[in-house]
Amino acid sequence: MKAHVKKVIGGAAIVIAGAFIAPWEGKRNTAYVDIAGVLTVCYGHTGPDVHRGLRVTDDECKRLLSEDLAEALTVVNRSVTAPMSEPRKAGLASFVFNVGETKFKRSTLLQMLNAEHPAACDQLLRWIYVYDPVTGQYVVNDGIRQRRTEERELCLYE
């Protein structure tokens, strides 16, 4: 397959992931503390550039989402050695976007994907807990559970 055709096809994952992630993350133009206690802005953007009182424009939110998605897809593409459909890449990018590179790279999910285990995508359903700073315990989050169910559907797509 010619390089320019691969590039066009490869771009499908970022479009799918963007359309998938944006509604789950929601958009807030002012920095806030998310359910995991992390300072966040726009569509789930976190990092040292996010500080209390930060306000950003809609265009900046789109740019941050695009950059964060590209990062998540890079992690997926570098980490998963097994063949992947574009929807699978998108679902996994959403997962990486949500839990981070380190947790993904240490996960049984990644091990099973690379072993081409048929139940690999089911591992997503285990990642439904968030830390409750009030109780000091991990609790099931229904929104995260639904997101993981939908990420699994993308992961299973051939």
Between the alpha carbon of residue 116 and those of residues 16, 81, 90, 153, 156, the distances in Å are 23, 9, 17, 17, 12
Instruction: Give me the helix-helix angle, 142-156 and 3-25, nearest 10°.
Output: 160
Rounded CA separation 20/150 (Å): 9
Share of the chain above pLDDT 70, in %: 94
Share of the chain above pLDDT 90, in %: 84
Least confident of 78-87, 125-134, 138-147: 125-134
| Domains located in the chain, CATH noted | 3-156 (1.10.530.40)
Each residue's pLDDT tens digit, 27-80:
999 999 998 889 999 999 999 999 999 999 999 999 999 999 999 999 999 999
What sign does the CA torsion over 108, 110, 115, 117 have? positive
Kindly state the tokens that stand for 140: 């099931």
Kindly state the tokens that stand for 84: 């992947």
Q: Compute CA 76 distance to the chain's CA centroid, rounded to the nearest angstrom.
A: 10
Where are the strands (E) in 4-155, listed by range? 28-33, 39-42, 129-132, 137-140
Each residue's pLDDT tens digit, 137-149:
999 999 999 999 9
Mark whether 116 is an active-site residue: no
Q: Looking up tokens 């574009």, which residue turns up? A: 86
Mark whether 25 is an active-site residue: yes
Catalytic residue selected from 25, 68, 86, 151:
25
Q: Compute CA 5 distance to the chain's CA centroid, rounded to the nearest angstrom.
A: 25
Catalytic residue selected from 34, 71, 132, 150:
34
DSSP state of 57: -
Q: Hey, which residues does 137 pair with through a beta bridge? A: 132
Mean pLDDT for 124-152 is 95
Check pLDDT > 80 for residue 5: no
Would you state the pLDDT for residue 131? 87
Would you state the pLDDT for residue 12? 87
User: Do residues 154 and 20 touch, judged by C-beta distance below 8 A?
Assistant: yes
Q: 42 in helix, strand or coil?
A: strand
